[in-house]
Amino acid sequence: MADAPFTDETLSDALCSLAIKAGAAIMEIYARGVVAETKADASPVTEADRRGEEIILAGLADFAPEVPVLAEESASEGKIPELGDRFFLVDPLDGTKEFITRTGEFTVNIALVENGKPVFGVVYAPAINKLFAGGRSGAWKAVVNANGEIGGRETIRVRTAPADGLVAVASRSHRSPETDAYLETLKVADFTAAGSSLKFCLIAEGAADIYPRFGRTMEWDTGAGQAVLEAAGGRVMAHPDNVPLAYGKKARGFDNPHFIAFGAE
């Protein structure tokens, strides 16, 4: 399967299923209480991060064994494969701080990258039962029921920026002075905070207009959300270079430059 192009339908079936399965395991741990450890880079990690990644990596190995996977917890242990032009990006628990503080705003992120561009992504928020996905054929969202079944899919699309001002979205846990300074240069009518890659999804579904990020992020933090947003008609641009945020940046250690996510022009 790895040698032939994937269809959105094939990717949706496989990646959504894996995200939901990982999400169920994460919620079992969430229900019984969270014990956090600290990784070498001082970021938190929990049993849920590790268990979610195990489930996704096993599933991807069955689905597309020839496609390498860049996954957060494996990468933190130095397990980084040779990626090539096509690879999966996995963040098994994006928003670990939100998970620990129990805001519910954490997600399971899986993306497929081809030639530096995220071409399909799944963002699943198991605590609020919301799933977002997007690829070449568009973007959609759905509710996942208690049995892990996906309900009716609703097509999503970015909105035209309101004339009376933008709705800006930024990180709940990682807001920076640079972000605030940038937002002061815009006509912003309202602001909403959100955790994890849900920020991209708010723009994708037309609930917000712009998300500036002037702090450190890694490729697995952004790939799935960017895929959903771009499938919904938005864009994610590196700042200040104003070029699309790209992937496979081995020389940078797979971290991202600052970026701004936009809805419609």
Return the DSSP state at 164.
T
Tell me whether residue 94 is in a domain: yes
The domain boundary residue, chosen from 107, 135, 156: 156
Give the model's confidence band at 84: pLDDT under 50 very low, under 70 low, under 90 confident, else very high.
very high
Whole-number Å distance between alpha carbons of 233 and 244: 13
Chain segment 165-198, per-residue pLDDT in tens: 999 997 655 667 888 889 889 999 998 888 889 9
* Structural domain count of the chain: 2
262: which 2 tokens?
């936009």
Dihedral pair phi/psi, residue 244, rounded to 5°: -55, 135
What does the pLDDT read at residue 4?
59
- Domain residues for 251? 166-262
CATH code for the domain of 191: 3.40.190.80
Which run of H or of E encompasses 25? helix 8-32
Which pLDDT tens digit goes with each residue over 203-223? Answer: 999 999 999 999 889 999 999
Chain position carrying tokens 């208690």: 146
Residue 2: the pLDDT is 46
pLDDT digits (tens, 9 = 90+) for 224-263: 999 999 999 999 999 999 999 999 999 999 999 999 999 9
The domain spanning residue 57 has which CATH number?
3.30.540.10
The last residue of a domain, from among 156, 182, 215? 156
Tell me the whole-structure pTM to 2 decimals. 0.93
Q: Do 112 and 229 belong together in one domain?
A: no
Nearest Cα neighbor of 109 from 158, 172, 52, 58 is: 52
Does residue 251 sit in the same domain as residue 181? Answer: yes
* Rg of the chain over all Cα atoms, to the nearest angstrom: 17
pLDDT tens digit sequence for 109-154: 999 999 999 999 999 999 999 999 999 999 999 999 999 999 999 9
Q: Are residues 13 and 132 in the same domain?
A: yes
Domain-embedded: residue 3: no
Residue 68 structure tokens: 């390498």
**Do 127 and 210 belong together in one domain?**
no
Band of residue 41 on the pLDDT scale cut at 50, 70, 90: low
Q: Is 64 in the same domain as 113? A: yes
Which residues are CB-contacts of 205 (< 8 A; sequence separation ≥ 6)? 132, 141, 156, 232
Residues forming a β-bridge with 117: 114
Answer yes or no: do 28 and 122 share one domain: yes
Cβ(208)–Cβ(192) under 8 Å? yes
Same domain, 97 and 31: yes
Average pLDDT, the chain: 92
- Give me the pLDDT at residue 124, please: 98
The answer to whether the beta carbons of residues 118 and 4 sit under 8 Å apart is no
DSSP 95: -
Instruction: Give first-to-last CA distance, the chain, whole Å.
Output: 37
What does the pLDDT read at residue 1? 42
Residues 6+ apart with CB under 8 A from 183: 168, 170, 191, 212
User: Would you say 255 and 219 are in contact if contact means Cβ atoms under 8 Å apart?
Assistant: yes
User: Is residue 161 a part of any domain in this protein?
Assistant: no
Q: Are residues 119 and 188 in the same domain?
A: no
Above 80 in pLDDT, residue 27? yes
Residue type, 112: L
Same domain, 55 and 176: no
